Amino acid sequence: MAGFDIDRVAYLARLALTDEERKAFGAQLETIVAYVDRIAGLDVEGLPATVHGHDVNNIFREDVPTEGLPTEVALANAPARVGDEIRMPRVVE
Amino acid sequence: MMELNKLTIAEALAGLRSGAFTSVELTQALLKTMEASQKDIHAYVTIDAEGALAQAAEADRRRAAGEDAPLLGVPIAVKDNMNVKGQPCTASSRILEGYVAPYDATVIAKLRAAGAVFLGRTNMDEFALGSTTQTSGFGPTENPVARGCVPGGSSGGSAAAVGGDLAIAALGTDTGGSIRQPASHCGIVGVKPTYGRVSRYGVVACASSLDQVGPMTKTVEDAALLMNVLAGPDPMDATSLDEPVPDYTQAWAGADPERPLAGMTLGIPKEYYGEGLDPEVRALAEDAKARAIALGATLKEVSLPHASYGIPTYYICMTAEISANLARFDGVRYGLRVPCDDVVEQYRRTRAEGFGAEVKRRVLLGTFVLSSGYYDAYYGRAQKVRTLIRRDFEAAFAECDALLAPVTPEPAWPLGAYQDDPIRNYLSDVLTVGVNLAGCCALALPAGQTKAGKPVGVQLIGPNFGEMALFRVAKALELKK
């Protein structure tokens, strides 16, 4: 196992950590990664991946228009809104 | 005076149908017990007394008008990760505090159509990540039978509600044992249906390739009655399968009362009886084996050779899916937002504030196993090991009708124990995660109690869509109260 870079992983996960969490999680995750690393010893050459319980693909329902959530209902849980839109910080430079 | 809160679904339906009591009386009896138990057991995150009584009155009105339905007027508890329209749905996370469900999950719509009354939402490990219900953002639940101990998890609130007679029955979800393990710790029946048997639409996603909704009940018959309502395909869940839904209560019909398991072969997976099993848990599993033989079953030792890879494989696959599924909790469309001028900072602070420690740990682990440079060694490899685990079960089912094994290596442990030792907690799932990785079905049922009075269960594991065999065996093995 290569080193567990807590700062890189926390950035990718969009998770701010306190110094205390950084230390505690860093140490715990090193141990957990070392534990799950035991699958490294198995020969899996040529085996197919199991992504979920059944080998079924391309499940479609009839393409029939149905009522979606009304705007008011969809926006009712939004933490901040302007009119019929969700308010967000500026994302363009 | 009959204690209405202690009734099973079958008993409640009989009483409602004969007019011995009304749904309003039944619901009132439960609400009174539930409210009194909240300060110590804390099975519920939210109780909807007003809604439940209105639904009960409506059920009574329908019944008075000559109508009937499979669960008409029966009060049910729902794990807090299923959307019940107009009610809070938090998955016991602070990040969803204040969220109100805009629609019914398919399982809720089905129960509603069957006439069920919704008592409230039960406590759980935050986002179903845990085995003790102690990672809930709203405080732990106590085991109503083994007092001072955890109820198990993640569906610990549902198990405590049913085991403590604070609901007639409940729904849980099982991703790696989250129905079976708490059922075992609280002395009730819990079913993890075959993947694709029950719709996941409207259920807060934990690990989508592993999650299933299932019944948590006082008896095997009740679990079959609920499965009759829950099972079936759903156009809103592309992973639900269009397999015929049998009448699960017919599973034990016509069996010889003396030897109801005659002709059945039960596999004994030797890896599930290995070292590390608590002696009392082992003794109760051996007792179940002896009863199965007395009831006519043939026992056969089988092997699941990759069982010891179950926990590492599960904690890679599950956390990978968690990290992807929980990306939606970013403070944009719903839930908590910690406002900030910079959007990435807003995501980071919102998630830091809203998620508890176990959620953060698993999101970090899942992000790591999916990250560039590590994907092939961890997630890619784990998916292939998952194939080996699935094939182990397929090979075992070629030799038997179902497997019989313990549910957990040890009985419920004291509240607060082992909280700083994640691996210790993860290992408690060692006998349950294989079923979820393989996709097959399993049923946990009470096997007795330890000398200290802690409930212990055994599980029956069946092939895909083999629930009928599980119900047949479980009905025969069920201990008389």
Question: Which chain A residue shows the shortest CA-CA distance from B378?
Answer: A37
Q: Check CB contact of B62 with chain A, cutoff 8 Å.
A: no
Q: Mark yes or no for CB contact A47/B384 under 8 Å.
A: yes
Q: Is residue B118 a contact partner of residue B140, using CB atoms and an 8 Å limit? A: no
Interface A:B, Cβ pairs < 8 A: 176
Domain definitions of chain B by residue range? 7-250
**Chain A contacts of B236, Cβ < 8 Å?**
61
Predicted local distance difference test score (pLDDT) of residue A91 = 87
Q: Mark yes or no for CB contact B387/A49 under 8 Å.
A: yes
Predicted local distance difference test score (pLDDT) of residue A78 = 96
Q: Mark yes or no for CB contact A15/B238 under 8 Å.
A: no
Q: What is the pLDDT along chain B (481 residues), one digit of tens a residue?
A: 579 999 999 999 999 999 999 999 999 999 999 999 999 999 999 999 999 999 999 999 999 999 999 999 999 999 999 999 999 999 999 999 999 999 999 999 999 999 999 999 999 999 999 999 999 999 999 999 999 999 999 999 999 999 999 999 999 999 999 999 999 999 999 999 999 999 999 999 999 999 999 999 999 999 999 999 999 999 999 999 999 999 999 999 999 999 999 999 999 999 999 988 999 999 999 999 999 999 999 999 999 999 999 999 999 999 999 999 999 999 999 999 999 999 999 999 999 999 999 999 999 999 999 999 999 999 999 999 999 999 999 999 999 999 999 999 999 999 999 888 888 888 889 999 999 999 999 999 999 999 999 999 999 999 999 999 999 999 999 987 6
ipTM for the whole complex:
0.95
Nearest by CB to residue A89, choosing from B210, B343, B439, is: B343
Q: Is B178 a catalytic residue?
A: yes
Q: Name which of B96, B237, B368 to mutate to probe chain A: the one with the most chain A Cβ atoms within 10 A of its Cβ.
A: B368
Predicted local distance difference test score (pLDDT) of residue B275 = 87
Instruction: Please identify which of the residues B23, B37, B79, B110 carries the catalytic annotation.
Output: B79
Predicted local distance difference test score (pLDDT) of residue B427 = 87
For residue B327, give the nearest of B236, B436, B205, B213 by alpha carbon.
B205
Q: Mark yes or no for CB contact A9/B196 under 8 Å.
A: no
Q: Check CB contact of B386 with chain A, cutoff 8 Å.
A: yes
Predicted local distance difference test score (pLDDT) of residue B140 = 98
Neighbours of B72 (CB within 10 A): 20
Predicted local distance difference test score (pLDDT) of residue B333 = 95
- What pLDDT band is residue A2 in, cutting at 50, 70 and 90? low
Q: Name which of A4, A5, A15 to mutate to probe chain B: the one with the most chain B Cβ atoms within 10 A of its Cβ.
A: A15
Q: Name which of A1, A5, A8, A9 to mutate to probe chain B: the one with the most chain B Cβ atoms within 10 A of its Cβ.
A: A9
Q: Mark yes or no for CB contact A52/B313 under 8 Å.
A: no
pLDDT digits (tens, 9 = 90+) for A11-46: 999 999 999 999 999 999 999 999 999 999 999 999
Q: How far is B395 from chain A (nearest CA, A)?
A: 16
Predicted local distance difference test score (pLDDT) of residue B1 = 58
**Chain A contacts of B369, Cβ < 8 Å?**
36
**Chain A contacts of B334, Cβ < 8 Å?**
77-79
Q: What CATH number was assigned to the domain covering residues B7-250?
A: 3.90.1300.10
Q: Which of residues 56-85 of A touch B (CB under 8 A)?
A: 56, 59-62, 69, 73-74, 76-80
**Chain B contacts of A88, Cβ < 8 Å?**
332, 343
For residue B425, give the nearest of B380, B366, B361 by alpha carbon.
B361
Q: Mark yes or no for CB contact A54/B439 under 8 Å.
A: yes
Instruction: Please identify which of the residues B92, B131, B136, B154 carries the catalytic annotation.
Output: B154
**Chain A contacts of B374, Cβ < 8 Å?**
2
Q: Is B23 a catalytic residue?
A: no
Predicted local distance difference test score (pLDDT) of residue A58 = 85
Predicted local distance difference test score (pLDDT) of residue A1 = 46
Tokens at residue B51, please? 């809604």
Tokens at residue B367, please? 């992000």
- What pLDDT band is residue A61 in, cutting at 50, 70 and 90? confident
List, in order, residues 6 or more apart from B154 with CB less than 8 Å away: B124, B125, B128, B129, B130, B131, B133, B173, B175, B178, B182
**Antiparallel, parallel or unpaired: β B298-302 and B265-269:** parallel
Question: Which chain B residue shows the shortest CA-CA distance from A11?
Answer: B348
Query: Phi then psi for B302, rounded to 5 degrees?
Result: -130, 170
For residue B70, give the nearest of B159, B169, B179 by alpha carbon.
B169
**Chain B contacts of A62, Cβ < 8 Å?**
235
Q: How far is A51 from chain B (nearest CA, A)?
A: 6
Q: What is the mean pLDDT of residues A56-79?
A: 90
Neighbours of B53 (CB within 10 A): 16
Question: Which chain B residue shows the shortest CA-CA distance from A18?
Answer: B352
Reported residue count of chain B is 481
Nearest by CB to residue B351, choosing from A15, A18, A56, is: A15
- Return the HEC string of chain B: CCCHHHCCHHHHHHHHHHCCCCHHHHHHHHHHHHHHHCCCCCCEEEECHHHHHHHHHHHHHHHHCCCCCCCCCCEEEEECCECCCCCECCCCCHHHCCCECCCCCHHHHHHHHCCCEEEEEECCCHHHCCCCCCCCCCCCCCCCCCCCECCCCCCHHHHHHHHCCCCCEEEEEECCCCCHHHHHHHCCEEEECCCCCECCCCECCCCCCCCEEEEEECCHHHHHHHHHHHECCECCECCCCCCCCCCHHHCCCCCCCCCCCCCCEEEEEHHHHCCCCCHHHHHHHHHHHHHHHHCCCEEEEECCCCHHHHHHHHHHHHHHHHHHHHHHCCCCCCCCCCCCCCHHHHHHHHHHHHCCHHHHHHHHHHHHHHCCCCCHHHHHHHHHHHHHHHHHHHHHHCCCCEEEEECCCCCCCECCCCCCCHHHHHHCCCCCHHHHHHCCEEEEEEEEECCCCCEEEEEEEECCCCHHHHHHHHHHHCCCC
Q: Check CB contact of B328 with chain A, cutoff 8 Å.
A: no
Q: Is B303 a catalytic residue?
A: no
**Chain A contacts of B205, Cβ < 8 Å?**
none
